[in-house]
Amino acid sequence: MKNNRKKKKTAAKAKSVKLRKKPLKSKNLRAKAKTVSAEQPKNMTFLTIAKNGEYSLGVKTEKGIFDVQAASKLFRKKVPADIHAIIKGGDQGLTALVQTALASKASKSLFLDEAKIECGPCVTNPEKIICLGFNYRKHAQELSSVTATAPVLFSKFNNALSSHNSAIKLPVHVASKFDYEVELVAVIGKTAYKVSEADALSCVFGYCIGNDISARDLQFKTSQFLIGKSLDGFAPIGPYLVTADQIPVPDNLNLECFVNGEQRQAGNTNDMIFSVAATISYVSQYFTLKPGDIIFTGTPDGVISGMPAEKQIWLKSGDSLRCVIEKLGELKFSLV
């Protein structure tokens, strides 16, 4: 009897060990899968589709804007549903889905006419919106500002985000000196803390066009820029978010801003005092940059506040603006 009980006990113990081993194997498989899925998409241009008060993901292709959400349902493939899921989780089969749809005769309805799409901000919910002031040499000169020895940082809040073709309401009840600032915007793709300048660009997911609209009378009302910079809608970005592999050198891009068809700004990012890499490295020494954070990298000369007082005709309701950055397309919006 004792021997039988001993054998049963030994067998039960052996079975217990086997059961404990299975979760370990499963955990290793999950870790491996996570590593694979975290690979960032390459050679892609994203756009946010706004429909019925909700945002979904679009990809620019030669056939039109690829509706990722509709394609996921049609092909029964689970892929990231919004831009933040892509930035944080990687490709996760999206590239393969786009290629499948492009090759399928049954997928014509998945490609939308871009002219008929209502856009949302190309990055919809950043934790941080970081901005640089006086970061172009000629811009600093037109404002008679001393060249900065360190990046001049300020912030905007998410309420300031707006999109391509948006109508931005000017808060004329509190301000009157409204100005434009076309800017290259860098979107962070992975957690960055104390990164070196040499490694900084590897932390970028992609780039887009932005305009740091400013109420100058509020900006300089106190020593803090915030209220003049973070008014509702005062940070239009888009329409596209272009993956970083398509722009390996962000410090040599032409950028322009037009008001009612008249060119007001024309510069190049090579006039930056602090490069994109230097800026990211600097910021990351002080606080952690997270996937989806965006950085407005400064504006070239030609702003209204840099003109002689008698030529300062501030932006007003009815004005339309067009911002162009090489390789990133055009961002358009109007003021009401």
Cβ–Cβ under 8 Å, residues 136 and 301: yes
Type and span of the H or E element at 321: strand 320-325
CA distances from 182 to 209, 220, 245, 257, 280 (A): 7, 20, 22, 6, 19
Cβ–Cβ under 8 Å, residues 102 and 61: yes
Give pLDDT, residue 21: 40
Q: Are strands 111-112 and 329-335 parallel, antiparallel or unpaired?
A: unpaired
Angle between helices 94-103 and 68-75 (to 10 degrees): 80
| Burial degree of 315 (CB within 10 A; 0-12, 13-18, 19+) | buried
The C-alpha atoms of residue 336 and residue 333 are separated, in whole angstroms, by 10
Give pLDDT, residue 229: 98
| Burial degree of 319 (CB within 10 A; 0-12, 13-18, 19+) | middle
Give pLDDT, residue 315: 98
Give pLDDT, residue 28: 38
Residues of the chain below pLDDT 50:
1-2, 6-8, 10-37
Give pLDDT, residue 147: 84
The 8 Å CB, 24+ separation contacts for 113-118 are: 113/64, 113/65, 114/47, 114/60, 114/64, 114/65, 117/47, 117/49, 117/58, 117/65, 118/49, 118/50, 118/51, 118/165
The whole model's pTM is what? 0.88
CA distances from 238 to 18, 36, 210, 235, 266 (A): 54, 29, 7, 10, 19
